[in-house]
Amino acid sequence: MRIDIITVLPELLDSPFAHSIMKRAQEKGLLEVRCHQLRDFAINKHGQIDDYQYGGGAGMVIMCEPLANQIEKLQGERTYDEVIFLTPDGETYNQGIANAFSLNKNLMLICGHYKGIDQRIRDKYVTKEISIGDYVLSGGELAAAVLVDSIGRLLPGVLNDETSALTDSFQDNLLAPPVYTRPADFNGMEVPEILLSGNFPKIEEWRNEQALQRTKERRPDLLE
Ligand code: 6GU
**Residues 163-177: pLDDT tens digits?**
677 767 787 899 999
User: At 200, which amino acid appears?
Assistant: F
Tens digits of residue pLDDT in 166-212: 767 787 899 999 999 999 999 999 999 999 999 999 999 999 999 99
Q: Is 137 in the pocket of ligand 1 (CB under 6 A)?
A: yes
Q: What is the mean pLDDT of residues 73-91?
A: 98
Q: Please report whether residue 32 resides in a domain.
A: yes
Tell me how far the alpha carbon of residue 63 lies from the centroid of ligand 1, in angstroms. 19
* 214 within a domain of the structure (yes/no): yes
7 lines ligand 1 (CB under 6 A): no
Q: Is 43 in the same domain as 148?
A: yes
Q: What is the pLDDT of residue 5?
A: 98
pTM of the model: 0.95
Share of the chain above pLDDT 90, in %: 92
Mean pLDDT score across all residues of the chain: 96
91-126 confidence digits (pLDDT tens) = 999 999 999 999 999 999 999 987 899 999 999 999
In-domain check, residue 158: no
With a CB cutoff of 8 Å and minimum separation 6, the contacts of 194 are 202, 203, 206
Q: Do the domain assignments include residue 182?
A: yes
How many independent structural domains does the chain possess? 2
Looking at the fold, whether 21 and 67 belong to one and the same domain comes out as: yes
pLDDT band at 57 (very low <50, low <70, confident <90, very high): very high
Where a domain ends, among 152, 178, 195?
A: 152
Mutate to test the pocket of ligand 1, among 12, 13, 86 (most ligand atoms within 8 A of CB): 86
Q: Does the Cβ of 102 fall within 6 Å of ligand 1? A: no
pLDDT computed for residue 40 by the predictor: 98
Within a domain: residue 190?
yes
Same domain, 37 and 131: yes
111: in domain? yes
- Contacts of residue 100, defined as CB under 8 A and 6 or more positions apart, other chains included, come to none
Sign of CA dihedral 27, 29, 33, 36: positive
Same domain, 34 and 133: yes
Average pLDDT rounded to a whole number, residues 126-131:
98
Give dist(CA 26, CA 31) in Å, integer: 5
CATH number at residue 199: 1.10.1270.20
Identify whether residues 97 and 207 lie together within a single domain: no
Residue 196 and residue 112 in one domain: no
- Can you give the pLDDT at residue 80? 99
Same domain, yes or no: 135 and 187: no
Asked if residue 139 belongs to a domain, the reply is yes
Residues ≥6 apart with Cβ < 8 Å to 98: 147, 150, 151, 154
Q: What is the domain range of residue 209?
A: 169-223
Share of the chain above pLDDT 70, in %: 98
Q: Please indicate, yes or no, if residue 179 is contained in any of the structural domains.
A: yes
Per-residue pLDDT at 149 exceeds 90: yes
CA of 93 to the centre of ligand 1 (A): 10
Task: Report the pLDDT value the prediction gives residue 165, as an integer from 0 to 100.
Answer: 72
